[in-house]
Amino acid sequence: MKKNLLGNSDLELSEIGFGTWAIGGGDWGMGWGDQHEPDSVASILEGLESGINWIDTAHAYGFGVAEIAVGKAIREYGSSDVIVATKCGVLPEKDNKPTRFISRKTILEEVEGSLKRLGRDYIDLYQIHWPNPPENLIEAWETLQELKKAGKIRWAGLCNCWEDDLKTLHGIAPITSNQPMYSMLDRSIEKEVLPWCELSNTGVIVYSPMHSGILTGKVSQQWLDDLPPNDWRKHKTDHPVVSPLHSKDGLQAFLILQEELRSFAYQRSITVGQLAVCWSLSHSGVTSSNVGARKKGQIVEPVRAVDSALSEARQKEIMSYILKFENKQKNG
C-alpha cells in the first residue's frame, strides 16, 4: 500500500489507517455495541497483515478498552514498525459517559495511562482529541511540547480543530497533523481547514470516511432496527451524522442516494464502502484515511479501495447525487 509522509514528521503512513473507535465496547456513551476483545485483536492483525502500518486509538474509546486491544495486537504481530497514534482530552464522568476536557494535569495523567495500556515507551503521534475547553487549549498544546521534549511522544497533533485554533497553536509550535471528520456527507473542512493544512505542511488524517457506517450501502429500516441499544447511532437520534435516518422522509431520501451510489459503484466493480474510502483520499491535502473494523473480514474491503482512483469527472458525478440529497434535506 502507498505511504505518505505526515506533515513535518518522519512518519510515513499507509493511505489507510486502522481506526479503533468502534472497538471500545458499548458502555461509554459513544460505543458501537458490545465488543469482544479477541474480535478486536483479530481485526487489527488482519489490517496490519493487509498492508496498514498505523493504528489510531484514544483513551476515550471505552476509556482504555481499545488501547489495551491495540497493545495486545501489536505484541502478537511481533513488529516494532507499527505506528501508533492515540489521543487525550476526553474523560469519563461518574456514569462513564465522555466529557471533553483538557488541561496540563489531565494530559500528564492520560499519557502515562496510554503508555501503560499500549505497552510502549513512547507514542508516535499524540493528539488532542477535542479543543475543549477552549481557554485551556494553549496550555494543552504547550504540555504536548513538554512531552515531546521528554521523549514520551514523538510528534504532536490535533483533532477536530478549525482554522483559527490551528493558526494560534501553529504560532507556538508546528502542528504535525490535524484529524477532522471527512466524508462525502461532511465536507466542511474543504473550505478552510484543508487549504490551511496544505500551506502550513500540516498532515491531515481524516476519520469516518464511511460516515460511521452510513456510507456502506447497507442502510435500511431493518438495519436501523437491528442496531443494539448501546450503539450511539441508535440512541443519539439528534446527532447530525445519523439524524436524517431517524425520520421517515430523511431515510427515504437517503435510500434514494444510496441506490444511486450503489449503481455508480457497481459499474466500477466496487462497493459503496470502497467508493466512500476512495473518495476521502481523492483530495490532495489528505495524508491518510482512518477506517474502522470490529471483526475479522471487515477491513479487507476498504484496503482494496486504494486501487480505485476517482477522476475529477467521476467526483463531480458523485457530488451531483450528494447535492441532490442535501437539497432535499434543506427543503424539508
Task: List the catalytic residues.
Answer: 61
The residue type found at 140 is A
Q: What sign has the CA pseudo-torsion 275, 204, 51, 310?
A: positive
Nearest to 17 by CA among 203, 219, 163: 203
CB atoms within 10 A of CB 103: 16
Cβ atoms of 52 and 14 within 8 Å: the answer is yes
The residue type found at 226 is D
Rounded Cα gap, residues 115 and 59, in angstroms: 10
Cβ atoms of 115 and 102 within 8 Å: the answer is no
Nearest to 111 by CA among 141, 136, 145, 87: 87
Furthest CA-CA distance within the chain:
54
Cβ atoms of 30 and 320 within 8 Å: the answer is no
Q: What sign has the CA pseudo-torsion 263, 264, 266, 267?
A: positive
Half-sphere exposure of 31 (CA within 13 A, CB side): 21
The residue type found at 103 is S
227-240: buried (b, 16+ CB within 10 Å) or exposed (e) per residue? beebbbbbeeeeee
